[in-house]
Chains A and B, each alone.
Chain A
């Protein structure tokens, strides 16, 4: 490896895709491991969200960083086909946002966010003596 490529590997621009790939894979893995210990529906939400986010962070964003996929913005000149750029843009925003939504719902179910809190131990009520006792 020549000096130049080694220096670019150490720069922020080159580290970002690696960081994104590691984080995406890790997120999907931990989601799957969390899902193993939780209920059926929680596991489904978690795994679906984790896989979407893992795909988005580990595959799509590095491809955008590498300029293999063109970023879409209206009224811009494209090197390739604008339809392809638009389609990938739709896939990207769908995957990232729906992934966070599903993962958030999964974590919320896992944390029992919307469930009722654990029932408070009820204060012991003293048995009221029946009025007849005092008479008798």
Chain B
């Protein structure tokens, strides 16, 4: 999978490259709009991550040119402006998704995966990690063969973590996708923390092998090893 990152800020570009390469993607970085424009035309990519505020050729201009040429490469735009009009403008020009700066890296990875597997997504009703099993339709959870009872919110949280198993999810992703609170200004961090600690209490406390892990300052991950 080849990803083109068009980003002028050196630190951000390097971090994106390193982080994405660690996930097994091939990453090409363009530091200006012109370079990005040339690369998009010259080579084939599976995904373009495009900063909207670029010196020279702006991100929106590159985006509309890509679409006018009939290239269907998925485009994820990064923007520091999150006014609704800016987002709409980007999506209207043919972007597939957007992220507002500063974004959490786990979220970028999640969006990247989602865009790359687009069209192949399906919601599996049976989820499993080690000896933790979830039947989404029957709303039943078992750990080590024993039923565990959850409140609705706890169930949704666990389902989300299971669907993103072995991937770090940020609090922001949880607030938006599980609590459906789009504004980052609403203080839900402590609410999320309490729910995570209750999940821990219910599925991890009696077992040696812990499944829920906190990545300090980043978020949470459901996985088998430390």
Verify that A and B bind, or say they do not: no
Which residues of B does A touch, CB under 8 Å?
Answer: none
Which residues of A does B touch, CB under 8 Å?
Answer: none
